[in-house]
């Protein structure tokens, strides 16, 4: 299906399978949504040039200085291996939809925002 990634048993042995969407460039107002068919452990976010995936060692989105993510199963956001709680009582569940958006302000400040089932959760990162 165009625009969809379907997980299957081929990913069972990986700690955190990572999917990179080619040619998705950061443009003001760019966003995407992910349907979570299981609602279990997972991370949704953005990465820049320099991001290197090593799923066999548990290195994925948010584990380095080139990527940022939200983990709705734990209510945390990650960058460079550090984490913060976005909202203490927010946890995604089976068939929820997580939205992730990135905006620039005056070409200087970048903000990464998240939604869960169309409810705005807030700005997780600003730099």
5-13 contacts: CB < 8 A, separation 24 or more?
7/37
* 14 vs 58, residue with greater confidence: 58
Q: Which of 16-30, 38-52, 58-72, 84-98 has the lowest mean pLDDT?
A: 16-30
**What mean pLDDT is reported for the chain?**
77
Q: Residue 66's pLDDT is what?
A: 87
Write out pLDDT tens, residues 79-125. 988 888 766 678 889 889 988 888 766 667 778 888 999 998 888 87
Question: Is the CATH number 2.60.120.920 carried by domain 25-126?
Answer: yes
Q: Is the pTM of this model over 0.85?
A: no
- Give the whole-angstrom CA distance, residue 51 versus residue 110: 17
- Give the whole-angstrom CA distance, residue 44 versus residue 68: 8
- Give the whole-angstrom CA distance, residue 45 versus residue 24: 12
Q: Residue 2's pLDDT is what?
A: 42
Spatial CB neighbours of 86, under 8 Å, sequence gap ≥ 6: 70, 75, 76, 77, 114, 121, 122, 124
Q: Residue 1's pLDDT is what?
A: 34
Torsion angle, CA of 74/91/86/29, rounded to 10 degrees? 120
């Amino acid at each position: 299906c165009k625009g969809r990634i379907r997980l299957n048993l081929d990913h069972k042995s990986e700690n955190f399978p990572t999917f990179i969407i080619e040619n998705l460039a950061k443009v003001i107002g760019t966003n995407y949504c992910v349907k979570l068919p299981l609602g279990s452990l997972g991370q949704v976010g953005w990465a820049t040039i320099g991001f290197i995936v090593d799923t066999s060692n548990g290195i994925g989105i948010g584990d380095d200085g080139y990527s940022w993510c939200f983990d709705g199963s734990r209510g945390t956001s990650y960058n460079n291996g550090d984490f913060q709680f976005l909202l203490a009582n927010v946890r995604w569940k089976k068939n929820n939809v997580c939205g992730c958006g990135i905006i620039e302000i005056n070409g200087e400040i970048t903000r990464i925002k998240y939604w869960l089932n169309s409810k705005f959760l807030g700005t997780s990162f600003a730099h």
